[in-house]
Structures are given as C-alpha cells and as structure tokens.
Structure 1
Amino acid sequence: MTTPEWLKPGIYGALLGAAFVGIVGFSWGGWMTGGGADKMASEMAQDEVIAALVPFCLDRSRTDNERIAKLATIREASSFKRRDAVMEAGWATMPGSDGPNRELAQACIEGLELDAS
C-alpha cells in the first residue's frame, strides 16, 4: 500500500507526538507502570503496618522487668548497633512471628528516645 505524499507529514508528526507525550508523561507527568504502582503500594502498606506496631513495641518495653538494663544496653550501643540491641531485647518480635522485625526495631528506637526524654 502506498501512502499519499500529503499524508506522510501527518503520520510522522503523530508518531513523534506520541513518543514525546509518552516520554514527558513518564518522566515528568507522574505516570507509572502497574509494577511501579504495586511496588509503591507495598512499600506504603509496610510503612503503615510498622507505624501501627510501634505502640506495641513501646508497650513491651514499658512492661519488661529488665527494662532499665536493656535500655542501658541500647543507649551504650553505637548508633548503628542500636537496632540490633532492640531486636535482642525482644521488643521488636511480634507474637506469632519467627524473629524480630528490623524496620519495627528502628521505629521503636525513635519512640524509645522520645519516651526516655
């Protein structure tokens, strides 16, 4: 099939325009793929779950009989080892889970610092 000469500029313009709109939309327009949206939703859900569990972690720290010794251990630990100290204290382990949650331990540290002051 041959395309008339007068139609070729319109076809080229439509193709270039579509490519331009796609590039601008995904770069600056805020468009995203389904996989990107799923990843963002999963991260947001995880963040919200951790935020909801921080009061549980803080409550476990308040009711722990060895609270003072464990808090001293956490305070003495270097800043990058504090999360491990909270995990070893058992405050970041949820009932029914196999082990402590690293993100919950980090969020709990921030709550403990607010709680201690």
Structure 2
Amino acid sequence: MSNEMMKNWSDYKPSKTLWLWSAVGAAGLTMIVGFTAGGWMTSGTAAERTEASTELAVATLAANICSNRFLAAPDAHAKLAALKETDSWKQDSFIEEGGWVTFANMEKPISGAAELCANRLVAATPPAADSGA
C-alpha cells in the first residue's frame, strides 16, 4: 500500500487556483504570526512608540533636574515637608506651580516631569537643615 500512496502522491498535480490560495494562506499566516508573536509593527506604531519613548526620556531628564534644583534651594527642608503634606494627586501641581519643571524660555512645564519629580522628592531623604549663618 505504501507504493500505491507514493505513486498517487507523485502523480498529483495541483491546480493553479490551489497554488494561488496556498500562497495567499501562507502569506496571511506569516503576517499573523509576525504581527502577534514576532514583534513586527507598522511604521505608524513604530513612530508612536518612538514619540512616547522620547517624551518619557525628556520627562525623566527634567525630573532629575527638578529634584536637584528643589533639594538645592535654600528652603528645601520646608518645601519638602510641604510637598509631603500635600495630597498625592496634587503634588505634581505643587511642583509645577513652584516652577521646578518649567525651564528657560518655556511657557509650559515639561509634560510628565512634575509627577516624576514629585515621586522622587517624596521618596528622597530630606536635606540637612541649615545650621544658621
């Protein structure tokens, strides 16, 4: 029986329609696997992810500068205590209103930086109080 099966297989001639649909199916399956599990993405998705990553990097840099400026201020101990007493959902507004995330020649604060800065400051160790001069 195996000889008969081999003969039938070697004699099989698929039609052009079958070849076409096989190629279409293979291409479709390849794309489904590629976009779901293979990490493929459209150029629009890549651009969106790049933009989001860039905004996060800028906000992180601004938050680092903000926290350093905040802690270097002469009244840092009092301001940090006030920040920690502020409700958590208002802490980013406290930072924005203080001007710590609005840099030279900017009209608005850097998006996302105030929240990152506030989180860093709340977790920071308070600076040593001035011993007086």
Same fold (TM over 0.5): yes
TM-score (norm 1): 0.82
Structure-2-length-normalised TM-score = 0.74
Contact 1:82–1:109 (8 Å) recurs in 2: yes
CA pair 102-45 structure 1, distance change in 2 beyond 3 A: closer
1:81 partner amino acid: K
Gaps of 5+ in 1: none
- Higher RCO, 1 or 2 (CA under 8 Å, sep at least 6)? 2
What's the counterpart of residue 105 of structure 1? 114
Q: CA deviation at 1:88?
A: 1.3
Q: Percentage identity across aligned positions?
A: 27
Please give the alpha-carbon distance, in whole angstroms, between the structure 2 residues aligned to 1:102 and 1:35: 22
CA–CA separation in structure 2 for the residues paired with 1:47 and 1:102:
9
What's the RMSD between the two structures over aligned residues? 2.1
SS at match of 2:109: coil
Counterpart pick for 1:93 among 94, 102, 117: 102
Q: Can you list the C-alpha shifts for 1:16-59, whole angstroms capped at 9, x where unaligned?
A: 11111112211111110001101111111111122222232123
Partners of 2:25 and 2:62 lie apart in 1 by: 51
Which structure: larger Rg? 2
Partner of residue 19, structure 1:
28
- Between the two proteins, the alignment pairs up a number of residues equal to 114
Structure 2 residue ranges without an equivalent (≥5): 1-13, 127-133
Structure 2 residue 57 is matched with structure 1 residue 53: no
**Alignment correspondent of 2:125:** 116
CA distance in 2, matches of 1:100, 1:10: 60
1:99 counterpart SS class: coil
Per-residue CA distance 1:63-111 (angstroms, 9 max, x = gap):
3344334323211111111111111121111111102234111111122
The answer for the alignment partner of 1:82 in structure 2 is 91
